[in-house]
Amino acid sequence: MNIFDETLTSLHEGLVSKKFTSVELTEEAFKRIAEIDPKVSAFLALNKEEALNQAAAADERGYETGSILNGIPIGIKDNIVTKGLTTTAASKMLEDFNPIYDATVVEKLEAAGAINVGKLNMDEFAMGGSTENSYFKTTKNPWDTTKVPGGSSGGSAAAVASGQVLATLGTDTGGSIRQPAAFTGLTGMKPTYGRVSRYGLIAFASSLDQIGPFTRNVMDNALMLEAISGYDPKDSTSANVEVPKFSANLTGNISGMKIALPKEYFQEGVSDEIKTAVEKAAAQFKEMGATVEEVSLPTLSYGIPAYYIIASSEASSNLQRFDGIRYGYRAENIVTLEDLYVKSRSEGFGMEVKRRIMLGTFSLSAGFYDAYFKKAGQIRTLIKEDFARIFADYDLILGPTTTTTAYNLGEKSDNPLEMYMADLLTVTINLAGVPAISLPGGFSSEGLPIGIQLIGDYFEEEKIYQAAYAFEQKNDYSTKHPNL
């Protein structure tokens, strides 16, 4: 089997028609991981024994047409807790942390019969855009292993792009699904805030974090999202709204759809090749019967400062729980309790995590709160209003996902500010809470993938998938893959 020719649906059909079993699929996935992963370093931990047991159980249950994920191997980002399977968030702080429960998304995937083959590398506590901030290893871009895979969900992206599994879960706080999807030529969805339960997601910035899928195509992405979505009483910020069957109505018909193209997305700093790819996509959407009109999103440039204040403030509060006492890293040779807190945290967290905690603590501290945290919260309102104004007249917003294609490993790792500025095109979406997808939109002259972004109004993932599917049908970008 050539995994790059398969989809979740084709694997499902193979299982139903007894062409192969889930045990065979899962063994093959581990074989691919053994061959390919040494080149890209996507996985932090494998779940081999348990996965093969689950696969055997799926084979035992048998396959019914329609329950598509049943028996199919997938991977999970390592900030999503898995009962009995070490979950580190790529931090020394949680190097030996063994969760006693499953995240709701893990329970849902298990209920759907999906087989979790292992945990995927990331920037420590999801803070970063290159996966170089992992305490354990540096993941590489399968298209060019001298380049970053993006981040923070770099392992989730590299595992799919290199053909180890067809689908993984990532998380997106400021672009951490969409940017690695763009850098590795995948489809990655950041759902509406509240669409997917965050119960069991190790919190970074609670008002921004969302879990979402990475896949090689739109249909697979829709199938994954419908499996993990829905209200969860264990997450009071999950939304009690109906979950449409995203995969059911993908027709490719977008006639009459109104698409907005913000002129700010074409500003200086966005590479010409990426601008051209977006313009080409806009022309294709027009040909397919959609209206594409230029609009203005003037708050775009406020996104990065507001995001870094809000996300870091929430992180500084969320990460207070790592105190060396109930779980996680504990420093040795401690005399006082204060010592225990300070040494455990200073030795257990990496530099980028410390930077964010410091910026957040500063923004929330006496004398600075109004000028930083409160101000950023007001800017967030302006950003939301900007999106609301566009969505009053348009179905979707089209733009680039990233300002450049994947950059060199090490290029920005000691320049945090430059790393932050690269999030220009993704962070405002998290601040507003609306859904957005990145999908393959072409290749640079260097042969690196380019991502285009489609943004929808709250809970309108269906429209996003419809337009993404139509675009995918017109192009062959999703069929391309790296040769490792």
Site for another protein in 430-469 (CB under 8 A): 430-433, 458
Binding range to another protein, per CB under 8 A, among 37-45, 124-132, 308-316, 404-412: 308-316
Q: How far is the CB of 400 from another protein (least distance, A)?
A: 21
Q: Which span sits near another protein by CB under 8 A: 54-62, 109-117, 243-251, 366-374?
A: 366-374
Binding to another protein (CB under 8 A) within 369-388 occurs at 371-372, 374-382, 384
Residues 96-115 that bind another protein (CB under 8 A): 96-98, 100-101
Residues 6+ apart with CB under 8 A from 160: 75, 166, 167, 168, 184, 186, 214, 215, 216
Residue 186 contacts residue 220 (beta carbons within 8 Å) = no
Which of 141-149, 220-228, 278-286, 344-352 is the region at the interface with another protein (rule: CB under 8 A)? Answer: 344-352
80 lies in the site for another protein, by CB under 8 A: no
Question: Which helix H or strand E contains 159, and what residues bound it?
Answer: helix 154-161
Q: How far is the CB of 397 from another protein (least distance, A)?
A: 17
Residue 56: phi and psi, rounded to 5, are -65, -40
Q: How many helices (H) and strands (E) does the chain have?
A: 15, 11
In degrees and rounded to multiples of 5, residue 105 shows phi and psi of -65, -35
CA distances (Å), origin 276, targets 11, 250, 258, 435: 36, 27, 20, 24
* Unique residue bearing structure tokens 């069957």: 245
Q: Which residue in the block uniquely carries the two structure tokens 């790792």?
A: 413
Q: Is 349 in the site for another protein (CB under 8 A)?
A: yes
In the shown chain, the binding pattern of residues 264 to 303 toward another protein, with x for contact by CB under 8 A and - for none, equals --------------------------------------x-
Question: Taking the CB of residue 78, how many other CB atoms lie within 10 A of it?
Answer: 30
**Which tokens is 279 given?**
């313009």
Catalytic residue among 91, 130, 153, 176: 176
CB of 253 to another protein, least distance (A): 29
Q: Site for another protein (CB under 8 A): how many residues? A: 72
Could you confirm whether 108 is annotated as catalytic?
no
- Amino acid present at 348: G
Are the C-beta atoms of residues 82 and 102 closer than 8 Å to each other?
Answer: yes
Q: How far is the CB of 385 from another protein (least distance, A)?
A: 9
C-beta separation of 365 from 402 below 8 A: no
**CA angle, 20 then 24 then 25, to 5°:** 85
Q: Where are the beta strands (DSSP E) in 101-186?
A: 115-120, 167-172
Mapping DSSP onto H, E and C, the string for 12-76 reads HHHHHCCCCCHHHHHHHHHHHHHHHHHHHCCEEEECHHHHHHHHHHHHHHCCCCCCCCCCCEEEE
Task: Name the residue nearer to another protein (CB basis): 308 or 469.
Answer: 308
List Cβ neighbours of 450 (8 Å cut-off, separation of 6 or more): 182, 273, 274, 277, 400, 405, 440, 441, 442, 443, 444
Is 135 a binding residue for another protein by CB under 8 A? The answer is no
* Residue choice 46, 309, 406, 454 for contact with another protein (CB under 8 A): 309
144, β-bridge pairs: 141
Angle at 319 between CA 315 and CA 325, to 5 degrees: 175
Catalytic pick among 41, 130, 152, 197:
152
Q: Taking the complex as a whole, how short is the minimal distance between the CB of residue 233 and another protein, in angstroms? A: 7
CB of 88 to another protein, least distance (A): 12
The conformation of residue 373, written as its DSSP 8-state character, comes to I
Among 22, 41, 77, 312, the active-site one is 77
Task: Kindly tell me which of 385 and 446 has the beta carbon lying closer to another protein.
Answer: 385
Is 413 a known active-site residue? Answer: no
The yes-or-no answer on residue 77 being catalytic is: yes
Cβ closest to another protein, residue 143 vs residue 391: 391
Minimum CB separation of residue 401 from another protein in Å reads 19
Confirm if 399 and 453 have CB atoms less than 8 A apart.
yes
Hey, which residues between 11 and 50 contact another protein (CB under 8 A)? none
- What the block records as the tokens of 236 is 């009071």
The alpha carbon of residue 348 and the mean position of all alpha carbons in its chain are separated, in whole angstroms, by: 25
Nearer to another protein among residue 41 and residue 176 (C-beta): 176
341 near another protein, judged by CB under 8 A: yes
User: Encoding tokens for residue 34?
Assistant: 């053994």
Residues 174-203 that bind another protein (CB under 8 A): 192-194
Which parts of 217-256 interact with another protein (CB under 8 A)?
A: 233, 236-237, 239
Q: Is 323 in the site for another protein (CB under 8 A)?
A: yes
Min separation Cβ 391 and another protein, Å:
14
Positions annotated as catalytic residues are: 77, 152, 176
